[in-house]
Amino acid sequence: MQLTLVPLDTATDDLARKVAGSLRKMIPWKVTISRRLEGTHTPLPGNPANAIALLASIADAPVPDTVEVVITPHDITISGKDHVFGYAMPDSSIAIVSTHRLTATHKCRHPRRLLIQRICKEVLHEAGHVQGLEHCNVAACVMHYSQNLHDTDLKPCRFCSTCVKELSKLPHVTEDPQEG
């Protein structure tokens, strides 16, 4: 499995690198960073972007055994919700995570570290949805639903054993032995 982080613009370049570094220590997937999509899909200032429309405008043909997660500093929304931390489109193997509402709103010792942790959790959560996982009832699972930042902070950055089992049932693309 490959997880590719896609920074939407320069504001998320460094965050994508930090998140990729953290995720490489946590999960057995290959974690890469794609080129930035700067200037191509930027919402108007002060307006939340429609996550579905934004992803639809970015999505290419799905690459087997690869999940792409766009990281954006812009607030995102979907129909019926005024904001979301992230959104996944499983049929396109793509998801989006917004850093807009993940920043520390209170004084904490390491706000940057907290932001990276939150982004990692949201990236894994949305990658899980792309892979077919639903929200999990286990509070100690990254797939547990987060209504607010407090919920996100409480859950770990890992899948519970039930979700790991579900992920292990997924078909995996094997490499052609003739390829290098």
Q: How far is CA 165 from the centre of its chain?
A: 20
User: Angle CA(172)–CA(157)–CA(123) in degrees, nearest 5?
Assistant: 65
Residue 68 annotated in active site = no
Q: Active-site residue among 38, 68, 122, 126?
A: 126
Distance CA 9, CA 36 (A): 6
CA distances for 6 relative to 12, 31, 78, 121, angstroms: 9, 11, 20, 16
3-state SS, residue 51: helix
Query: Known catalytic residues?
Result: 126
